């Protein structure tokens, strides 16, 4: 009967792990779509107005998810993941797009500037999803890991009770055989 109890605990914890991972994945993907996803959408755009719109949406997303200052990583963040600098870079790209928007679309300067701007987007990663998960979503991450640990422990306990139950049955069978032979 103990084995069944551990089985129910294991299944409950496993369901919690799945649910928490789904919520965490959804929210992280939502943050990415509201921020870096807009930059990805601006790559290879042929019109500066489209680029300006996408970058402004990315900037609004950064503000919405609180990724405006600090470092995206709690312990080992470097200068590339400093959100103050990332936001400055985003502002620089936005200013450059607005500057290009004032030029004649058929001019060489516009075409080269647009190509350079599009190329620079490949190196612009906003770190908003990393920031959100490690700062705002940290409790969700901790709960997920604790549920995973609990599921592992209950699985081990369930296995242990299963083995001890088999040992008791084996002892009973040996005792029954010994009684028959005597």
- The reported pTM is 0.71
Could you tell me which of 41, 63, 44 has the C-alpha nearest to residue 53?
41
Could you tell me which of 52, 119, 36 has the C-alpha nearest to residue 91?
52
Phi and psi torsions of 77, nearest 5°:
-75, 140
- Tens place of pLDDT per residue across the chain (182 aa): 455 676 677 777 778 888 888 888 888 889 999 999 999 999 878 899 999 999 999 999 999 998 898 888 877 778 888 999 999 999 999 999 999 999 999 899 999 999 999 888 888 888 888 888 888 877 887 888 888 888 788 777 767 666 666 666 556 666 776 777 66
**Residue 6: per-residue pLDDT:** 66
**Residue 45: per-residue pLDDT:** 86
Q: Are 35 and 128 in contact (CB under 8 A)?
A: yes
Q: Are 47 and 110 in contact (CB under 8 A)?
A: no
Domain ranges of the chain: 2-181
**H helix intervals, the chain:** 2-34, 36-42, 48-64, 83-101, 108-120, 128-134, 138-181
CA 63 remoteness from chain centre: 18
């Amino acid at each position: 009967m103990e084995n069944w109890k551990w089985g129910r605990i294991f299944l409950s914890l496993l369901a919690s792990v799945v649910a928490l991972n789904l919520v965490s994945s959804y929210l992280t993907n939502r943050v990415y779509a509201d921020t870096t996803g807009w930059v990805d959408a601006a790559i290879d755009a042929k019109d500066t107005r489209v680029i300006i719109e996408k970058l402004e949406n990315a900037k609004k997303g950064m503000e919405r998810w609180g990724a405006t200052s600090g470092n995206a990583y709690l312990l080992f963040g470097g200068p590339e993941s400093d959100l103050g600098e990332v936001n400055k870079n985003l502002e620089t790209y936005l200013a450059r797009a607005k500057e290009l928007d004032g030029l004649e679309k058929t001019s060489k300067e516009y075409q080269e500037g647009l190509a350079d701007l599009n190329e620079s987007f490949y190196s612009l990663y906003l770190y908003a999803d990393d920031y959100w998960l490690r700062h705002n979503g940290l409790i969700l991450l901790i709960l997920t890991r604790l549920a995973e640990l609990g599921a592992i422990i209950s699985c081990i306990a369930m296995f242990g009770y299963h083995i001890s139950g088999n040992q008791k049955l084996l002892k009973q069978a040996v005792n029954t055989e010994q009684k028959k032979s005597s």
